[in-house]
Structure 1
Amino acid sequence: MSLNESRGTRRRGAELEDAILDAAWAQLEEGGYPRFTIEAVAERAGTSRPVLYRRWPGRTELLLATVAHIGDRTLPVIPDTGTLRGDVIALLHEVNRTRAGLMALVSVHLGSYFSESGTSPAELREHFIHGRPSSMSQILSRAAARGEAPADLPERVCSLPFDLFRGEALLTLQPIPEQSIHQIVDEIFLPLVQAYRQKT
C-alpha cells in the first residue's frame, strides 16, 4: 500500500485504474519499453505491484491496456464542415496536433516490444482503436449522403489519407507540414474519390 493510500486517500475502481494507466503512459514516454516494468509503473502511480498484478498478469497486458487507454483519451473530434474536403483536412489537422507524438513513440520506443512479442505496429494499432469505428468512415458516410462520394469506396481508398499521413509522420517523427496535408487531400485522395464516383 502506498503512503497516499494509507493516509485515507485510497483510490478505487476506475479512478485507480485511470491513474495507473496515466502513470504507465508517462513511464513509457520517459523510458521506453525496456524501462516499462510493473515495478516502475507501480512506483510512479503511487501504488503497489500486487494492485497492478490483480488487473494485468504482466507488462505486455499492461502495455496493451495503456495503449487502449491513450487511444480513448486522444479521440479526435470528428469535424463537420459541410464538405468532404473540409472534413478530411480538419481531421488531419486534429490528428497532426494530438497524435503525431504517439506515432513517434511507437517508432522510437517500442522496437524491443515488437521483437519480444513477435507482433507488429498494425496489431498494436488494433488495441489503440479497440473496435471503434474510424473517423474516416463516419466522414465518408456523411459525404455519401450529400452525394460527394460513393457509398462503396474500397477500404484502401477510405484509409488512404491516414495511411499517407502515418507514413510521413513515422519517417520524420514530427507533425507533418500543412502543405503535405493539402497535397494528400487535394492531389491524391479527392481525385481518387471522384474517379470512383464517376464509375457509379
Structure 2
Amino acid sequence: MPERRHGAALEQALLDAAWDELLSGGYARFTMDAVVKRAGTSPPVLYRRWSDRDALVRATLVHVLRKNVLKVPDTGSLREDVLAILRDINTNRVQLMTVMSVYLASYHLETGTSPAELLDPADTDRKQAVDAIYDRAVERGEAGAERLTDRIKALPFDLLRHEILTTYAPASEQVLEEIVDTMFLPLVR
C-alpha cells in the first residue's frame, strides 16, 4: 500500500504529475482527470488546491521554474555575469523553453493570453535574480541606471529565447557573445 502523502509532499507530487502530463500530451490533452490518475489520488484532493486546469497549469509552471532557478553569478563584470546566465540557460534550459513554448501554444490560443501574461516573473524569483546583476553593474559604474529599463534588462534573454525557439537548439558561443557585446552592452553604457 503506497504511503499517504500530505502537505508540501502531496502538492509537489500533484505538480510533478501535472508537469509530466503536460509533457506527455501538451495543454490540448491536459485534463484534471489525467493528473488525478497520474498522481494516484482523487479528484477532491486536486480540486481543493486548483479550481480548474488553467490554475493548475499556472501553478505547475511556477513549480517547474522554481525548481530550475537560475544561479546568480557575480564575476565582477556585467558582461561576464550576463554571459554566465545566458550560458546556463543555453546549457540547461533549452528543452524546458522549447517544451513550454510548443506544448503551451494551445493554452495561449484558448485563453487569449500571451506567454508574458502566463506568469509573473516575481512568482519564480527570476526578476530578482537578474536585477541583482544589474544593480551590481550600476554600483560598479558599468551601466547607467536610467538606461536599464525593463525591456533593456530583458533583451539578452529575449534574444536568446528567440534564437532557441527558431532553431530548437542551443545557441553557439559566438551568438551569445554577439547578443551581449553587439546588441546589449551598447544600450546600457
Q: Normalising by the residue count of structure 2, what TM-score does the alignment of the two structures yield? A: 0.92
Percent same amino acid at aligned positions?
Answer: 50
* 1:188 counterpart residue number: 183
1:130 to 123, 126, 131: 123
The letter of the residue matching 2:176 is: I
Instruction: Report Cα offsets for 1:116-151 as digits up to 9, x if no partner.
Output: 11111111142x642733433211100111111112
Aligned with 1:130: secondary structure?
helix
Gaps of 5+ in 2: none
- SS, match of residue 182 in structure 1: helix
What residue is the counterpart of 1:179 in the other structure?
Answer: 174
* Residue matched to 1:120: 114
Query: Which letter does structure 2 place at the counterpart of 1:181?
Result: L
Deviations 1:137-178 (A, max 9, x none): 211100111111112223222221111111111212222222
Q: Distance in 1 between matches of 2:35 and 2:171?
A: 32
Letter in 2 for 1:169: I
Is the 2:21–2:34 Cα contact (8 Å) retained in structure 1? yes
Tell whether the 8 Å contact from 1:103 to 1:173 is kept in structure 2 after alignment: no
Q: Any unmatched runs of 5+ in structure 1?
A: 195-200
1:80 maps to 2:74:
yes
**Whole-Å separation in 2 of the counterparts to 1:157 and 1:180:** 18
Give the residue type in structure 1 aligned to 2:67. Answer: R
> Contact (CA 8 Å) 1:161, 1:184: kept in 2 or not?
yes
Structure 2 residue aligned with 1:91: 85
Distance 1:92 1:63 in 2: 26
Q: Cα gap change, 1:26/1:129 in structure 2, threshold over 3 Å: closer, same or farther?
A: farther
Cα 1:62–1:75, aligned 2, differ >3 Å: closer, same or farther? same
Runs of at least 4 residues off by over 3 Å:
none
Question: The residue matched to 1:159 in structure 2 has which SS?
Answer: helix
TM-score by length of 1: 0.87
Q: Which moved more, 1:68-77 or 1:156-165?
A: 156-165
Structure number with greater Rg is 1
- The answer as to 2:19 corresponding to 1:29 is no
Q: Tell me the matched-pair count.
A: 187
- Give, in whole Å, the separation in 1 of the partners of 2:175 and 2:155: 14
Match of 2:60 in 1: 66
- What is the Cα-based RMSD across aligned positions, in Å? 1.6
Change (3 A) 1:27 1:54: same
CA contact (8 A) 2:32 2:52 kept: yes
The alpha-carbon deviation at position 102 of structure 1 amounts to 2.2
**Given the alignment of the two structures, is residue 43 of structure 1 paired with residue 37 of structure 2, yes or no?**
yes
Find the partner of 2:94 among 90, 100, 106: 100
Distance apart, 1:59 and its partner CA: 0.9
